[in-house]
Structure 1
C-alpha cells in the first residue's frame, strides 16, 4: 500500500510546483496591458491662463481609452499660444501673444517633468500667435497677428536661436471689419524646405517666401489670392500628395489647392463651408488638420462650437460629411493622436479639453465622454 501512497504524494507535489510556476506568468500577463495603458503618451498644452497658472502644461493620454489625467504645470510663460516640439523631443518652442511679442525655447529636465526656458527673443512685432521650424530644424519662424509681420531666426546645431533675426512687415487690408491691416496668423515651411508660407488674415493672401542658401528669405510672391473677406488663418499639407488645405476664419470656409514644389505657388481646387446652411449666428474658424492617410479633413468652428468633417477625393475636392459638437466653447485648437484614433479639442472659453474617437473607415467622430479641466487651453501637441 505504500507505493500507491507515495505515487499520489508525488502527483500532488508536482501539481503544486507547476501551479506555483504558473502564478507569476499570469500576473505578468495581467500587468502588461495595464502598464502600457498607464504609460501612454504625453500631451503638451499651451494656455492663455493668467497669474500663477499661466504657461505650459503636460498631461498623460491613455492611448487605449482616450482618457486624460495627471495635469502638470511644466513651464511658466505669458500666453504661449502655439507650440513646436523638436523631433528628438528634447526642446519645445512657444510663440507668446504679448505686446511686444516674443518666442521662447525650452529644454526638458532629465525626468521630463519640467521645462526650463533657455532662450527668449523678440518676435519683432506684437501678438506672436504661431511658431514653426524648418524640416531640418535649422530655422525658426513666427507670425505676429497684431502687428502683421513675420520673423525668421536661424537655429544652431543645439537648437538654440541665434540672435540675428530677419523681420518682414506685411502691408495691406481687406473688406472685413477685422481686416483694417495686415494680420499674419500662421507660418509653415514647405515639405521640401525651399519655401516659407505666411498666411495673412488681414490681406487675404498666402505669401510664398523662397529660402536661399544663406538661410534668408527672398522676395515674397503671392502663393494664393483668397476671396475678399476670407481671412485665411491656418494651413495644413497633405501627408503624401502636393496638396494644401486652408481654413478661413472670417468666411467660415475651407479651401483645397495644389502645390507647385518648384515655384511654391498654390492653385485652387475647391472651397466648402464649415457651417450648416441654416446657421446665422457669429462664427470664427480656427484650426485645421488632416488624417494620416489623407482621406479626411477636420476644421474647427468657434461660435458654432463644432468640428466640420470632410472626405477628400483623389482630385482634392471636399465633401462635408458631418459637423460634430465639441462639447465645449471656443475650440481654438485641436489635434489628432499620432495613431489617428482620437481627436482632442482645446476649448478656450469653457476651460476644457475634450476627446473624440475617430472612425478610421468613415472619418466620423464620437465623443468618448473623456474630458479634463484646464484654464484657457489654446494649443495641443503630442
Structure 2
C-alpha cells in the first residue's frame, strides 16, 4: 500500500445502512466513506434482519439497535464481533404493535423507544448498563384520524427524547399531532399531552431539535412542508414559529416528505422530497424563520433517510426505489448542495448512520 492509499484508509469513516431488502439480501450493511473525496466503497453485509428500517447507535458505537417494520413489529439489539466486521444479534423483542419504523435511545441510554407506524402507537423499554434491552415494555396506543386518505387511523412515525430526557415525544402522522409523554424518575411514561397540533392533513413524520436552542423542526410527509417551533422545556409543549413548503411553486406532482436534518451551525435545514425526488435546502434565521433556497435532485428515486457527514461537508441520501446512495458536497457558506458523482448501490437503502 502506497502513502496515498494509506492516507485514504486512515481517514475513512464507516457508514451503516438499514435496508428494506428481502431474501438473502435483507439486513444491515456497511460502507467505507472517504470524508475528503466523498467516495463510498467496500460494501459489506453485516447481518441479516427482516425489514431493518431505522438504526440507532450507542454513543460508544458498541451497540446498534434497529426497528423492524414487520407485522408484528419488533426491536433488535446488536453488538460487534471481536474484529468489528460483523454484527451479532443479542436480543429481539416485540414492539407491541405493527410496522416499527423509528427507534431511539434516551440521553442517558437507559431507555429505548420505538414508533409503530402500522398500529399507531409507541413502546419504551428499559436498557441495562451493558446496553441490553430489558423485556419490560411500556406501550401507548394513539387514537384518531385526519382528513387525508392516509389518515384513517393513528400512525406513529417518530419518537424523540427531549434533551434532558424528561419527555418522550411521539410524532403521529395519522392524527396531525405531536404528543409529549412525561418521563418520571423511575423511567415510566406519564399521561400524554399535546405538544403541538399540526394543521389538518399535514401528516407530521419526523422532528429534530436544535443543538443549542430550545427549538424544534418538524417535517410533514403529507403536506410537504416543514415547521419550526419554540420548545417550553417545563411543559414539553411547542409554539409554532413558521411553516414553509418543501417544493418549488411550479411543481404539481405527487410528493411525500421523509427526513429532516439541521446543519451543525443551525443555519441551514434540509428535507427530503419523495416524488419530486429532491433535497430541499432552507436557511434558518436566529428567530427560527425558514426560507427555501432551492431543491437539489437526489439522482435517484424515493429518498427516504439522508445524513450529513460528521464534518457537515457532505450530505448522503438513501434512495430506496433505485437502490443507490448518492453523495453531495455541501457549501458551508450558502448551504447549497452539488452532486459529487459518487454513489453506491445497495438493495432498498432506507437509513444511513455514521459510526
Q: Secondary structure at the match of 1:157?
A: coil
Which structure shows the bigger proportion of residues in helix conformation? 1
Pair 1:67-2:39 in alignment: yes
**Gapped regions of structure 2 (runs ≥ 5):** none
Aligned to 1:166: 138
Aligned to 1:113: 85
Aligned to 2:108: 136
Pair 1:273-2:283 in alignment: no
Aligned to 1:233: 205
Aligned to 1:125: 97
Aligned to 2:265: 293
* Alpha-carbon shift at residue 240 of structure 1 (Å): 1.1
Aligned to 1:332: 304
CA distance in 1, matches of 2:313, 2:161: 26
CA distance in 2, matches of 1:34, 1:51: 35
Aligned with 1:85 (options 43, 53, 57): 57
Aligned to 1:310: 282
Deviation by residue 1:44-93 (Cα, 9 ceiling, x = unmatched): 00000110000000000001100000000001100010000000010000
**Gapped regions of structure 1 (runs ≥ 5):** 1-26
Equivalent residues in 2 for 1:1-382 (5 A)? Answer: 31=3, 34-39=5-10, 40-382=12-354
CA distance in 2, matches of 1:98, 1:36: 42
CA distance in 2, matches of 1:102, 1:36: 41
TM-score of the aligned structures, taking structure 1 as reference length: 0.91
CA distance in 2, matches of 1:269, 1:37: 44
* Alpha-carbon shift at residue 121 of structure 1 (Å): 0.3
CA distance in 1, matches of 2:83, 2:274: 37
* Alpha-carbon shift at residue 110 of structure 1 (Å): 1.3
| Number of equivalences | 353
CA distance in 2, matches of 1:126, 1:36: 46
CA distance in 1, matches of 2:347, 2:307: 18
* Alpha-carbon shift at residue 34 of structure 1 (Å): 4.0
Runs of 4+ in 1 over 6 A off after TM superposition: none
CA distance in 2, matches of 1:238, 1:37: 32
Deviation by residue 1:84-136 (Cα, 9 ceiling, x = unmatched): 00000100000000000000000001111000000000000000000011001
Q: Which has the higher contact order (CA 8 A, sep 6+)?
A: 2
Task: Work out which of the two has the higher radius of gyration on C-alpha atoms and give 1 or 2.
Answer: 1
CA distance in 2, matches of 1:160, 1:148: 25
* Alpha-carbon shift at residue 36 of structure 1 (Å): 3.3
CA distance in 2, matches of 1:153, 1:193: 14
TM-score of the aligned structures, taking structure 2 as reference length: 0.98
* Alpha-carbon shift at residue 174 of structure 1 (Å): 0.4
